[in-house]
Structure 1
Amino acid sequence: MMGAVRAPTARLATLVVALLLTSACSLVVPGSARPVDPPVPASAAIASRSDPPGRVAEATARALQEFWRGELPAAFGKEWSDIGTFTAATTRDPAATPPPCVNRAADLTGQAFYCPSADAVVWDADGLVPELYERFGPVGVAVVLAHEVGHAVQTRLGVDAEQARDPQRFPTILLESMADCYAGVALALFAEEPVAGLPLGPEERDQAMQALVGFRDPIGVTAGDESAHGNAFDRVSAFQDGWTEGASLCADMTVDNRPFTQRRFGSEADQARGGNLPLRELLAFVERDAGGFFGGLAPAWHPPQLSTGGACPVPELAPQGPAAYCREDGGVAVDVAALGRLHDEVGDFAAATVVAGRYGLAMLAATGRSPVGRPAGAAATCLTGAYTGRLFDATDGFHLSPGDLDEAVQVLLAADWVARDAAGASDPAEHGFERVGRFRTGLLEGPAAC
């Protein structure tokens, strides 16, 4: 189930504004919901709407139904039974007829859900869908509906019945990841076979992931919490897996083979500051900690201390972004003002992610690899993920707080800073999807994979 997308608390001019969201999923309709009394008749028809967001929702619903008619038999050998009801709820009309599984249309405000007992996909046509359309374009609407239809796929594959028998095997967060994965499967097909009114190129694919970021859990919710839907890293990862690997991988997800990365706060002090260190304290930790990590990958090399320029003139450093590697003296320089804006408006680990990428470049140069060129930027992104993965196991000192991975995902989707080489260039053929994928490879497989 998808909840409301909330407005950003601040804007960062150098980032895509729509990314800076602080929203969370909420549960209004549990999986065991029952239709209201009297029941709403199931119908495959969708009430025609003239507004652009409504038209996109209608077109997406039809396209998803058509897609799964072919995909379910192809992937699983099962015939697809059409979803009984797709309906747009008018949540701002107190007199509106309630949709299936809720007592009032207003209960659906800011929500979209699939109700298995009524076999219905329902969405808020007055608030949620127009807001998604405004922030992310048509694909924002499409990815949310594709997620809900993903839950209908689970029902048709018998997952609901299996969960009833063994709820420990199918916690909420796993079901949500599977639905995100199925959404990736469907949208990958729409990229190959476009749906009218739903452009889906690389930029739109990034926007779909940005929309999922907006539905991440509040920081501090753990994977074991009953209401957990996933943090940004886990949700985006599941979407990517569906896009690249197909429906069979989604169905094969289990609590044993699907690691979830969200966690509780480690201390009251960390919770009180929202998991964010002051910038200068953060930079001191990163200088020591990232230096130690990357220095360990090149034992004969002494990682540099952070500076504000070193031997390189500022104009030479500026193309790399808020942090830069200086080829002349091997140093890592930071633009404190630019990092401060990133720190304040996204979070401390967004800034740490950018700085770690420059240490990655410095390490490449120290080991004889060129810090210039597309391979350098790709390796820097992957090494940043490897460094981040190390912080999962840190028992003291600098370690990941809840929300840190979300901040890394946001900056990777919004900007190519981490993927820039020492000349400030990045691969124009790569987008946020690829950057997150490289980061994830390093995080899960370690520096040897970079």
Structure 2
Amino acid sequence: MFWQQVYPDTFGTQFRPVDELVSYDSLDPSSPEVCGVDTYDMPNAMWCAPLFSDKEYIAWDRGFLVPTGQQYFGDSAIAALIAHEYGHAVQSSADLVGFFTETIVKEQQADCFAGAYSRWVAEGKSPRFTLSTGEGLNRVLAGAISSADPVWSERESEMVEEGHGTALDRTRAFQQGFTDGTASCAAIDLAVIEQQRGDLPILLQRDSTGGTQSGELPLDESTLSTLMELLDQIHRPPSPPGLSFDTESCPEGPASPPASYCASTNTIVVDLPGLQAMSVPARREDYSLPQGDNSGLSIVTSRYAMSLQHARGRPLDAPSTALLTACLTGVAQGAMAEPLDLPSGNTLQLAAGDIDEAIGGLLTNGLVAGTIDGLTVPAGFTRIEAFRAGLAGSEQTCLQQY
């Protein structure tokens, strides 16, 4: 029904649905071959082109993929997954892509189409599903992030164009479709994706031994002190905030543990064990969202952003504070992707996967998009959108927008 309504306006022709919908059970050893592949032990969803069959169809695993997705992310996330696969059918019928089109372009368009469909559902137009723009949309985004690519190394550089995209890629495309509609999705190509990615790291580099770096730093007092020095260089405030690991040092108390901004002393107070606990690298097999060192670094960076607002006389407890904090954190994180010389001689630079860890935190705990008291806006979509605005913008952009 969605594509019957929007396809003619988007592409100027009538919509032709796929020929067939197929479900299979990946837990069943006798599960049939689908789209030319054995489906046993293959939890997946796919669009099958007529090239592999006399029919065009969409298939999904009802044995493991769907019930697991429902358990962790809800029914609407499964609907968005199928909408993604239907997006592949649409891009083929509309001649948006060809055999040699990069995989990332196909996937970003499909993620974008899924976002446009989810907007249609959220507006109450679907006869089958409903979707709230708070927790419901949060879970749909979580489902998209959970299926993002792993962090690639230099040895896997071809996956920059032939993968499905980072968590940032996937949320950005989904949000584009949700906000701007299907016509904007059709305009996505490799040049657009490269422009959006900018200079953010995607591949893990080699370390001094010739091996692949882990992408993770020890979250200790030394690393956080270097982070503060780096943020001083990025923002150059007249009165930089201090850093304390004494959780009793702020007269107002720790307002947003594990990292709080103490306005009366212009100090960021960190509960280091608490911050470290929130920054343990997540395991993909646990269906966890990305988590690691930048989960903690981004939270501390957000409290630094609070000090910048305090210096400007901005309120620290308003809803707009939360989004401005996320935006300013995005500005700093974008700058941290580049090497900066520090007076101490220390270095700290974001690695591949770090931005995805910040995205994961924005969706799960929202502290990066929090007020001085740790309160945040309920929509993870809005929190991530504000952070992305900072990544692509500047401090002035954030101050004007929020």
Q: TM-score range by the shorter chain?
A: 0.7 to 0.9
Matched, 1:83 2:43: no
Matched, 1:433 2:381: yes
> Relative to structure 2, which stretch is displaced further, 236-245 or 87-96?
87-96
How many residues get paired? 370
Matched, 1:178 2:123: no
State the distance in 2 between where 1:139 and 1:72 align. 22
**Cα-to-partner distance string for 1:325-380 (whole Å, 9 max, x where unaligned):** 00110100111121011111420001011110000001111233232322222211
Contact 2:204 2:212 in 1 (8 A): no
Partner of 1:16: none
Q: Which amino acid aligns with 1:266?
A: Q
Partner of 1:373: 318
State the distance in 1 between where 2:333 and 2:257 align. 20
State the distance in 1 between where 2:187 and 2:166 align. 20
Out of 64, 67, 75, the residue aligned to residue 138 of structure 1 is: 75
Partner of 1:329: 265
User: What is the Cα deviation at residue 268 of structure 1?
Assistant: 2.7
Partner of 1:62: none
Partner of 2:93: 156
Instruction: Describe the shift of the 1:368–1:86 C-alpha distance in structure 2 as closer, same or farther (beyond 3 A).
Output: same
**What SS does the corresponding residue of 2:360 show, helix, strand or coil?**
helix
Partner of 1:251: 186
User: What is the Cα deviation at residue 269 of structure 1?
Assistant: 5.9
Partner of 1:263: 202
Instruction: Describe the shift of the 1:323–1:413 C-alpha distance in structure 2 as closer, same or farther (beyond 3 A).
Output: same
Out of 221, 224, 227, the residue aligned to residue 283 of structure 1 is: 224
State the distance in 2 between where 1:197 and 1:248 align. 24
Matched, 1:73 2:5: no
Between the two proteins, what is the percent identity of the paired residues?
Answer: 28
TM-score, normalisation: structure 1: 0.77
Instruction: Describe the shift of the 1:282–1:114 C-alpha distance in structure 2 as closer, same or farther (beyond 3 A).
Output: farther
State the distance in 2 between where 1:230 and 1:291 align. 32
**What SS does the corresponding residue of 2:326 show, helix, strand or coil?**
helix
User: What is the Cα deviation at residue 395 of structure 1?
Assistant: 6.0
Matched, 1:293 2:227: no
Matched, 1:112 2:51: no
The within-5 A match list for 1:50-69 is: 66-69=1-4
Contact 2:309 2:316 in 1 (8 A): yes
State the distance in 2 between where 1:152 and 1:446 align. 38
Q: Which amino acid aligns with 2:22?
A: T
Over aligned residue pairs, what C-alpha RMSD do you find? 2.1
State the distance in 1 between where 2:104 and 2:158 align. 8
Structure 2: which 5+ residue stretches go unaligned? 282-290, 342-346
State the distance in 2 between where 1:412 and 1:426 align. 10
**What SS does the corresponding residue of 1:287 show, helix, strand or coil?**
helix
